[in-house]
């Protein structure tokens, strides 16, 4: 593993407006939990100190639940995985190919279906600047089933510029040696953090054609409502043409659901900028009081009001236990660790939040359209009339298999659609 040059780590205390904390459910891929060795992938681009190109860390994360385990001849359960990484140039010629085998053992059967435990595979590759096609493939050697993905790998020639910066990466944990150089790290996959405690790191490489000159780095992070979460400037002096930059952030200070991080670097009159989104969605079970309180409220369409009220003043662990038990009792396929019904329910909640929320109204899941979508799913047909002469904007939702039709009209003209009174009874028929 190549050592990173450590330049700076600082903790940031954010000054945020404590308005509407959104603890949204993280939707895992539909390909996870269906019997194939599905994986999340990540590529960390690092500038080489000798300016000859890039050092790439290519990574894959596979949930234990997506692997097949068999009873070991000795003790516990074994899994056997093959990971292939290959790169092709524009002519389709293979410029790199490597296969890694991972055989490992877990002590108990519960771990074999665990969706919180994962295997992370990392490989280090050196590349010249250019455009490549990257192939990553996992094969479960017990079942012979495979999963693969192809991505374009764009590696521009940063030395042709006076100032350049790599893509922004987020790291969960960083291991340093006694000289404060990073020797290993655990990346995030999908730029999502499912736990709101602890800290994480922002990393990027900087190239400057000039040395012994001052630099200024502006870190600016804002949420989905453009409320600043981080707004800080770091200054220093460039000693080498390639330097690695880190900043450590406290997750607990970032209370909103989604953010967009913008990093701007200035050296003399030159300026470069990179942006990267990140999110704090919960997965499986909400991990904070705010998140689980909101999740329980969002279950109001399928959960007894008395049960919601009874959980209101309980401790976090008691609420989590009640939440887990509710969904375990309704799990349509208990042979898998994935709860398809819960996934679908909160997928609908997510859609309602994203599409039906308005600045001066209720959250999307609380609106009439949000409620109908969460209860009955996505309509078979939506007839939209946003600009009808002589009438308010309206939508007609049709559910053919359920034999239900709903009419929503926008009484204000600002996108706040309400269920027409003539259709109130349809919801309960």
The structural domains of the chain, with segments of one domain joined by +, span 11-68+106-132+147-279, 330-428
Whole-number pLDDT of residue 14: 35
pLDDT at 184 over 80: no
Could you say which DSSP state residue 170 is in? E
Could you say which DSSP state residue 50 is in? T
- Give the residue from 253, 36, 30 showing the smallest Cα distance to 146: 36
Whole-number pLDDT of residue 195: 67
Whole-number pLDDT of residue 394: 92
Residues of the chain with pLDDT > 90, as a percent, come to 60
- Cα 240 to Cα 195: distance, rounded to the nearest angstrom: 36
Whole-number pLDDT of residue 53: 96
Task: State the CATH architecture for 11-68+106-132+147-279.
Answer: Sandwich (2.60)
Contact 407, 382 (CB under 8 A): no
- Cα 79 to Cα 68: distance, rounded to the nearest angstrom: 6
- 358-378 pLDDT, tens digit per residue, is 755 688 999 999 999 999 999
- Cα 367 from chain centroid? 26
Q: Which residue has the tokens 């192939």?
A: 135
Question: Which residues contact residue 335 at a Cβ distance below 8 angstroms, ignoring those fewer than 6 apart?
Answer: none
Whole-number pLDDT of residue 2: 45
Tell me the range of 109-118, 133-142, 173-182, 238-247 where mean pLDDT is highest. 133-142
Whole-number pLDDT of residue 425: 93
- 259-272 pLDDT, tens digit per residue, is 999 999 999 999 99
- 10-45 pLDDT, tens digit per residue, is 333 333 333 344 568 887 788 888 889 999 998 989
- Cα 225 from chain centroid? 19
Contact 277, 259 (CB under 8 A): yes
- 413-423 pLDDT, tens digit per residue, is 778 899 999 99
Dump the DSSP string for 335-402.
TSS--HHHHHHHHHHHHHHHHH--TTS--GGGSHHHHHHHHH-S-SEEEEETT-TTS--EEEEEETTT
Ramachandran sector of residue 324 (left: φ over 0; alpha: ψ -120 to 50; beta: rest): alpha
Q: Please tell me which residue, 4 or 179, carries the higher pLDDT value.
A: 179
Question: Which residues contact residue 243 at a Cβ distance below 8 angstroms, ignoring those fewer than 6 apart?
Answer: 5, 7, 205, 206, 208
Residues of the chain with pLDDT > 70, as a percent, come to 92
- Cα 246 to Cα 263: distance, rounded to the nearest angstrom: 12
Whole-number pLDDT of residue 287: 77
Q: What are the tokens at 314?
A: 């309980």
**For the residues 81-98, what does the mean pLDDT come to?**
94
Mean pLDDT value across the chain = 87
Residue 182: which pLDDT band, with cuts at 50, 70 and 90? Answer: low
pLDDT at 339 over 80: yes
- Cα 387 from chain centroid? 37
- Give the residue from 118, 116, 117, 120 showing the smallest Cα distance to 100: 120
Question: Which residues contact residue 92 at a Cβ distance below 8 angstroms, ignoring those fewer than 6 apart?
Answer: none
**Stated pTM of the model:** 0.78
Whole-number pLDDT of residue 16: 32
pLDDT at 3 over 50: no
Residue 142: which pLDDT band, with cuts at 50, 70 and 90? Answer: very high
Strand intervals (E) in 257-310? 258-267, 270-279
pLDDT at 316 over 80: yes
**For the residues 121-128, what does the mean pLDDT come to?**
92
């Amino acid at each position: 593993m190549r050592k990173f040059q450590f330049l700076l780590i600082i903790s940031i205390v954010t000054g945020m407006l404590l308005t509407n904390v959104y603890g949204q459910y993280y939707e895992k891929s539909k390909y996870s939990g269906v019997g194939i060795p599905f994986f999340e992938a990540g590529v960390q681009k690092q500038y080489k100190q000798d300016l000859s190109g890039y050092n790439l860390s290519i990574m894959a994360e596979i949930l234990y639940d997506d692997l097949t385990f068999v009873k070991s001849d000795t003790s516990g359960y074994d899994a056997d995985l093959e990971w292939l990484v290959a790169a092709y140039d524009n002519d389709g010629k293979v410029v790199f190919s490597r296969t890694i085998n991972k055989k490992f053992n877990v002590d108990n059967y519960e771990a074999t279906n665990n969706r919180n435990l994962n295997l992370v595979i990392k490989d280090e590759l050196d590349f010249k600047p250019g455009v490549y096609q990257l192939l990553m493939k996992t094969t479960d050697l017990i079942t012979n089933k495979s999963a693969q993905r192809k991505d374009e790998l764009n590696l521009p020639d940063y030395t042709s510029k006076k100032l350049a910066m790599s893509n922004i990466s987020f790291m969960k944990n960083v291991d340093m040696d006694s000289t404060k150089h990073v020797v290993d790290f655990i990346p995030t996959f999908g730029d999502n953090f499912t736990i709101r405690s602890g800290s994480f790191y922002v990393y990027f490489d900087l190239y400057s054609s000039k040395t012994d000159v001052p630099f200024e780095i502006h870190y600016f992070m804002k949420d989905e409502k453009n409320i600043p979460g981080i707004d800080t400037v770091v200054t220093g002096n460039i000693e080498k043409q390639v330097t690695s930059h880190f900043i450590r952030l406290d997750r607990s200070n970032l209370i909103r659901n989604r953010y967009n991080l913008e990093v701007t670097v200035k050296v003399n009159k030159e300026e470069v900028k990179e942006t990267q989104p990140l999110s704090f969605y919960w997965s499986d079970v909400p991990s904070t009081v705010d998140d689980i309180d909101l999740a329980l409220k969002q279950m109001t369409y399928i959960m007894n009001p008395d049960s919601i009220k009874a959980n209101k003043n309980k401790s976090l662990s008691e609420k989590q236990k009640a939440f887990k038990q509710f969904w375990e009792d309704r799990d349509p396929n208990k042979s898998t660790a994935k709860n398809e019904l819960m996934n679908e329910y909160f997928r609908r909640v997510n859609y309602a939040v994203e599409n039906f929320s308005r600045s001066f109204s209720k959250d999307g899941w609380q609106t009439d359209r949000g409620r109908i979508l969460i209860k009955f799913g996505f309509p078979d047909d939506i007839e939209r009339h946003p600009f009808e002469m002589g009438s308010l904007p309206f939508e007609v939702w049709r559910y053919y298999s359920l034999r239900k039709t709903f009419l929503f009209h926008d009484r204000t003209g600002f996108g706040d659609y309400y269920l027409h009174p003539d259709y109130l009874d349809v919801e309960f028929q």
